[in-house]
Chains A and B, each alone.
Chain A
Amino acid sequence: MMTGVPLSWYLILSVVLFSLGVAGFLFRRNIITIFMSIELMLNAVNLSFVSFSYELKSVNGHLYTLFVMVVAAAEAAVGLAIILTVFKNRGTLNVDELNSLKN
């Protein structure tokens, strides 16, 4: 009765969330939404780290997840500061209009 959930289900959930993050990153035009898609991808990778940690009966995957969280926090702080500066200087959040490197 109590067979539990196959580990591959967790991994497939991680794959689905990662693909959604890729979709958001590629299809959205708002720079903040793109940034949130990156966070979604990081979360998906964290889930696979924790799943493998369960499979290997080792706590190391949890530690990698913690480091990913720390890097995500640092990345969010710096990235949002960059977004604030971009908005102050250009007055837009649309990545299509941030094209000064093109010409």
Chain B
Amino acid sequence: MDVILFLAFATIAVVCGVNVVLQTHPISSAVSLIGVMGSLAVLYLLLGAEFIAAAQVIVYAGAIMVLFLFVIMLLNAGEETRRGRSRLVQFLGLPLLVTLLGLFSYLVLRLFPNASHVRFGAFQGGTPAKFGRVLFTEFLLPFEVTSVLILIAILGAIVLARKEIE
């Protein structure tokens, strides 16, 4: 059952991820990205991260992607115009990318040959209660610093969106 769920949602994630890159219209890319985030939420749940799965759906798929969709609609962004690519990208881009993928995969397989097998329910540490206990004791300072970061981001976004740059 675990294997079936993993394979199903991993396939959805990869297909949607390829779609994000291949679609020429930003709206299609954004909707595909929501698909990636939704299937990743299911995978988080399989890994025992209940709170993170909920936060993934609410914060990422809910808030951030709606912001993206609003901006795409506001700017009325159309299809991307194709332009001639440099020869370097045409010939070297894909092989270099495959090399990156192969290198990372090799490292993963080399470094973790006998990592544990993931079974749903084997790790119970990701419940909101346990998560919150660690967040408000061990990680209290980063948590408070994060609030300052968000405040700065809000102010920056307001100033940037309002000001006309000559």
Contacts and interface: CB of A to CB of B under 8 A. Distances in A.
Interface in A52-77: 53-55, 57-60, 62-63, 65-67, 69-77
Contacts of B74: 84
Contact of A6 (B118, B135, B160): B118
Q: Is the interface of B mostly helix, strand, loop or mixed?
A: helix
B125 A84 contact: no
Interface string A1-15: 011111111111101
B40 A11 contact: no
A77 B70 CA distance: 12
Contacts of A74: 149-150, 152-153
B117 A4 contact: yes
Interface of B: 1-3, 6, 10, 13-14, 17-18, 20-21, 26, 29-30, 33, 36-37, 40, 43-44, 46-49, 51-52, 55-56, 59-60, 63-64, 67-68, 71-72, 74-75, 77, 80-81, 83, 89, 93, 97, 100-101, 104-105, 108-109, 112-113, 115-120, 122-123, 125-126, 130-131, 134-135, 138-139, 142, 146, 149-150, 152-154, 156-158, 160-161, 163-165
Given A7-B116, A70-B150, A50 B49 contact: yes
Nearest to B18: A20
B27 to A, nearest CB: 10
The size class of the interface chain A forms with chain B is 35 or more
Interface of A: 2-13, 15-24, 26-30, 32-33, 35-37, 39-40, 43, 46-47, 50-51, 53-55, 57-60, 62-63, 65-67, 69-78, 80-85, 87-89, 93-94, 96
Given A32-B68, A70-B150, A80-B68, A43 B60 contact: yes
B131 A8 contact: no
Q: Is the interface of A mostly helix, strand, loop or mixed?
A: helix
Contacts of B115: 6-8, 55
